[in-house]
Amino acid sequence: MVHNFNAGPSILPREVFEEASRAILNFNDTGLSILEFGHRTPLFENVMGEAISLVKELMQLNADKEVMFLHGGASTQFFQVPMNLLDEDALAAYLDCGIWGTKAIKEAKQFGHVEVVASSKDRNYSYIPKGYKITSDAAYFHYTTNNTVEGTQMHSIPDTVVPLVADMSSDILSRSMDFNRFSLIYAGAQKNIGAAGVNLVIADKNILGKTKRKIPSMMDYRQHIEHGSMLNTPPVFAVYVCLLTLRWLKKTGGVAAIEKLNREKAGLLYDTLDASTLFKPTVAKEDRSLMNVVFVLDDPEKEKAFLQLCKQEGMIGVKGHRSVGGFRVSLYNAMPLESVKQLTALMKAFEQRHV
């Protein structure tokens, strides 16, 4: 058995793979593949409509929130957000807590003024800054809810009057929160929503259309909303996989139910790490991610030996990001608790042999 701990593209439910594979050959008994029929036919309009409806239901969004499935990943949103929300003479506030926040800041500076209100770069992004102040006249405040590479997570929504913009690529739909407090949310699909190639964007319609610049049609959120995420040909198959994953999440009990499971998985792994004299977690305890658990071994030879053991036992994707090193275990929604149990048992057995 293979246990897929990859950070992304990542594990998806088995039933989603099975249904998606059937649809490639024969979608809904039409005799047509999901890859070959028109995106403006009722067949796909129903797919897109149900996917949008399920996002609204699972996130309990109010009537002001518009849901879009767009081309590109979160990296596209690094510039599409300020293009739509930030004038050249205006200021946006950003929190710098890792690689993806740094990239978002770089792109935003091309469209207006950026104030980095706080950064955890001083300790290699191993914690979330506290006590920072957000300028009250900022066009918006942007932050990354979960830092995939560094293994940190924001466990509360910032209390501010400034419109909130969040990159939720690696923890969206993994825990309950008041999603209506955000003016804009974006997330690459390839962690908890579906296959790579599509980006989920949720925007409050009241924040759009306020900048003075001309925005190319394909970059204008209002155009995508008006055309129901079909301003041009959407990534049909990727949207369909999102639909299947959203159906699966609803069937399992929704966001609250999956959060309970996610906390159980993360708790088991962190308890194992805290009890270990060999493996060491790198993140401040209060800021640990439920999705991406990062830890190290002090001995490079033992690190190689553990990676080799993981490979032998079918534990895939546990090597840490090149900028951090060590190990990274990703526990996205579709990750079974049993896989985490087997990994922690392997860690304990390895420690007994090497301490």
* CA contacts within 13 A on the Cβ side of 323: 12
Give tens-digit pLDDT for 157-215: 999 999 999 999 999 999 999 999 999 999 999 999 999 999 999 999 999 999 999 99
49 vs 28: CA distance, rounded Å? 16
CA distances 21 to 5, 35, 216, 241, 322, Å, are 22, 11, 36, 10, 33
pLDDT at 72: 87
> Which domains, and CATH codes, for the chain?
14-251 (3.40.640.10), 255-354 (3.90.1150.10)
pLDDT at 322: 84
- Whether 355 shows a pLDDT value over 80: the answer reads no
How buried is 285 (Cβ within 10 angstroms: 0-12 exposed, 13-18 middle, 19+ buried)? exposed
CA distances 291 to 38, 142, 190, Å, are 36, 20, 13
pLDDT at 300: 86
Please name which of 214, 189, 187 lies closest in space to residue 202, comparing C-alpha atoms.
187
Query: Across residues 239-262, what is the average pLDDT?
Result: 98
pLDDT at 296: 96
Rounded to the nearest integer, the mean pLDDT of the chain is: 97
Global confidence as pTM: 0.97
Catalytic residues: 100, 167, 191
Query: Across residues 43-58, what is the average pLDDT?
Result: 97
In degrees and rounded to multiples of 5, residue 94 shows phi and psi of: -130, 145
139: tokens are 């066009």
243 vs 171: CA distance, rounded Å? 17
- Give the three-state DSSP class for 173: coil
39 vs 268: CA distance, rounded Å? 44
Give tens-digit pLDDT for 304-340: 999 999 999 999 999 999 888 899 999 999 999 999 9
Query: Residue type at 252?
Result: T
pLDDT at 298: 84
